[in-house]
Amino acid sequence: MAETAPILELRELRKSFGALKATDDVSLDVRPGEIHALIGPNGAGKSTLIHQVAGSLTPDGGEIRFNGEDISGLTVAQRVRLGLGRTFQVSSVAPEFSALRNVMLSVQSTQGSSFRFFKPVMHDASLVDAAMEKLSLVDLAERADVVAAELSHGERRQLEMAMALALNPKLLLLDEPMAGMGPEGSKNLTGFLDTLRHEVPILLVEHDMEAVFSLADRISVLVYGSVIASGSVDEIRTNRDVREAYLGE
């Protein structure tokens, strides 16, 4: 059987900060229906890679193909419009608005004229329905009317995810979504991501190895900017280089 064409193809992606090679010829693919996890020690270049794919950092060289199209020259906004979704480490949630209203703003931004209609019309039923659907997806529907500032840390991460999903992404870039979450929050998010992969493939940077090993279809290991190993969970778990370089064994 022929392999499904990748949705994201990175080829020899390169980015230096001065003499430091943050990503050094990184190549990897994300295919439809899969969670591809990117792991590696602090400073390995994982966030730098995500920024290059999202468009917030310009690579020094290499290629980024999304759905077969070279997107290296596109702005962040153009990539979002093509379906490249991400959550932001700097929160994009408006704390004074309810969870529902935050998601409605996201939904609305996909419908153009976001300035003219900046204030979402709370009784616009189709907008409310679309936003509620995303809140349900992340299991936050019961908290729809709560002001974002009053949500717990984990709930805010769920809200950010709902806002990202409201943009109807074809691929989701997640940079340490479990960071700062308690065991309960991580467990919930793991369950949610497990179901989400069928709707949208995910490039997942995550330190929580329990989550990575339970979720990933494939794992790439980045050390000092280079992919030292790539393969299934079992292949990575038993890879001697990985155990020495990263798992500290």
Q: Please give the residue ranges that form the binding site for Mg ion (CB under 5 A).
A: 46-47
Question: Minimal CA–CA distance to 85: which of 167, 8, 157?
Answer: 167
Q: How far is the CB of 103 from ligand ADP (least distance, A)?
A: 28
Distance CA 234, CA 189 (A): 22
Q: Does 16 interact with ligand ADP (rule: CB under 6 A)?
A: no
Single residue of 7, 13, 22, 204 touching ligand ADP by CB under 6 A? 22
Residue 19 Cβ vs Mg ion, minimum distance, rounded to whole Å: 20
User: At closest approach, how far in Å is the CB of 50 from ligand ADP?
Assistant: 8
Beta-strand runs (E) in the chain? 8-17, 20-30, 35-39, 61-66, 69-70, 84-86, 171-175, 202-205, 218-223, 226-231
Alpha-carbon distance 15 to 92, whole Å? Answer: 26
Q: Are 184 and 190 in contact (CB under 8 A)?
A: no
Residue 113 sits at φ, ψ, to 5 deg, of: 45, 45
88 binds, among Mg ion, ligand ADP, none (CB under 5 to 8 A by kind): none
**Shortest spacing between CB 211 and ligand ADP, in angstroms:** 17
- Residue 44 near which of Mg ion, ligand ADP, none (CB within 5-8 Å, type-dependent): ligand ADP
- How many residues are there in the chain? 249
String of contacts with ligand ADP for each residue 33-62, x by CB under 6 A? -------x-xxxxxxx--------------
Per rule CB under 6 A, count of chain residues that contact ligand ADP: 11
What residue 92 binds from ligand ADP, Mg ion, none (CB within 5 to 8 A, per partner kind)? none
Note whether 17 binds ligand ADP by CB under 6 A: yes
- Quick one: which of 5, 20, 122, 149 contacts ligand ADP (CB under 6 A)? 20
How does strand 202-205 pair with strand 171-175? parallel
Q: How far is the CB of 108 from ligand ADP (least distance, A)?
A: 32
Contact between 76 and ligand ADP by CB under 6 A: the answer reads: no
- 223-to-21, 36, 174 alpha-carbon distances in Å: 11, 16, 19
Q: How far is residue 188 CA from its own chain's centroid?
A: 17
The binding site for ligand ADP (CB under 6 A) comprises 17, 20, 22, 40, 42-48
